[in-house]
Amino acid sequence: MGVRHAALPSVSGHAEATADVLGLILDSHAPRGFDHLESWRLVCAGQALPGAERAGDIAVALDALAEMEDVTDDVVLLGASHGGWTAMEFVGLALTGEVPPGLTQWPSEPDMLLAHVSALVVLYPYCGALNGADAISWPDRPPLLMILAENDSIVSTPNCLEAAATLRQGGASVTSVVLAGADHGFDQRERSVLSSLKLDADLRDQATRDIADFLSLPAVQ
C-alpha cells in the first residue's frame, strides 16, 4: 500500500520511486508462518490464505493508517499476483459489508475504510473462480489499473480481462494494460531458486511508467 505526499516502490517493492510517496509493505506471510517455500507455494496456489481472508489485513492496516497524523486520505493499494487478488477482494467485501474471513468484525466501518483508498493498482492478479470481486457492482471510485502479462504462465490473463469487462459493466472505472511478451513476475528480482520466471527490466520500467501515468505522478528519470 502507499500513501501519496508522504516513496512508493515503483513496482512490487523495487527501490526506484515514482514520486515523493510513502510506501507501506504489508507482510501477510511471516506472521502466519508462511515464509517457507512449501507454505508459500500453498498461498500462491490459493490453498492457504485466500484473497478474501488476506483482505482483512488491508482493513486493519487502513484503520491503523487513519490514526497517523502524517497520512492523507490518498491511499493507493498496490498488489502483485496474490496481493492484487487481495486488493480486489478488499474492495468487494467493503462494498457489501461482509466481514473478511479471519476477522470477527471490521476494525472500522467498511465504507469509511474504503473512502481512504484513492486508487487500486494490481499486477497479474489471480482472477479465477475463487476471486469474487467481480461479482459485486463497483462504483467508479476508486479507479482500478490492471497490468497483465500477455504470456502469463501462472494466472489467466483472459480471466482478468473478462473480470475487467464485468466490473466496467457494473460501473467501475477499470484500465487494463497487457504487456506484450511478459510472463508472471516480470518485475520481480527475488524468486525461488526453482522458479523459471525471470526479471525483465524493460517491462518493469514500462509498468512503472503505466502506473505513474495512471496515478498522475511525475515520470521516473
Which residues share a beta bridge with 148?
178
Question: Is residue 50 very low, low, confident or very high in pLDDT (cuts 50, 70, 90)?
Answer: confident
Instruction: Decide if 221 is inside a domain.
Output: no
Tell me whether residue 220 is in a domain: no
Task: Give me the number of domains the chain comprises.
Answer: 1
Q: Which of 26, 74, 77 is nearest to 211 (CA)?
A: 77
List the alpha helices (DSSP H) in 67-139.
Answer: 82-96, 110-115
Average pLDDT over residues 59-73: 84
- Output the nine-digit C-alpha cell for 166: 464485468
Q: Quick one: pLDDT at residue 69? A: 77
Q: Tell me if 69 is assigned to some domain.
A: yes
How far is the first Cα of the chain from the last one, in angstroms, to the nearest whole number?
22
Q: How many residues does the chain have?
A: 221
Burial class (CB in 10 A: 0-12, 13-18, 19+), 100: buried
Reported as a pLDDT band with limits 50, 70 and 90, residue 2 is: very low
pLDDT one-digit tens code per residue, 9-24: 444 444 344 455 666 7
Relative orientation angle of helices 82-96 and 51-66, to the nearest 10 degrees? 70
What is the domain extent for residue 181? 2-215
- Which CATH number do you get for residue 95? 3.40.50.1820
Region 34-43: mean pLDDT is 61
Note whether residue 134 is domain-resident.
yes
The answer to whether residue 109 is domain-embedded is yes
Domain annotation covers residue 93: yes
Which DSSP symbol is given to 135? Answer: G
Whether the pLDDT of residue 209 is over 70: the answer is: yes
Which pLDDT score, from 0 to 100, does residue 44 have? 63
pTM comes to: 0.84
Residues whose CB is less than 8 angstroms from the CB of residue 121 and which lie 6 or more positions away in sequence, other chains included: 76, 77, 78, 79, 144, 145, 147, 211, 214, 215
Q: What is the mean pLDDT of residues 28-45?
A: 63
* CA–CA gap between residue 17 and residue 196 (Å, rounded): 27
SS3 annotation, 10-38? CCCCCCCECCCEEECCCCCCHHHCCCCHH
pLDDT at 104: 96
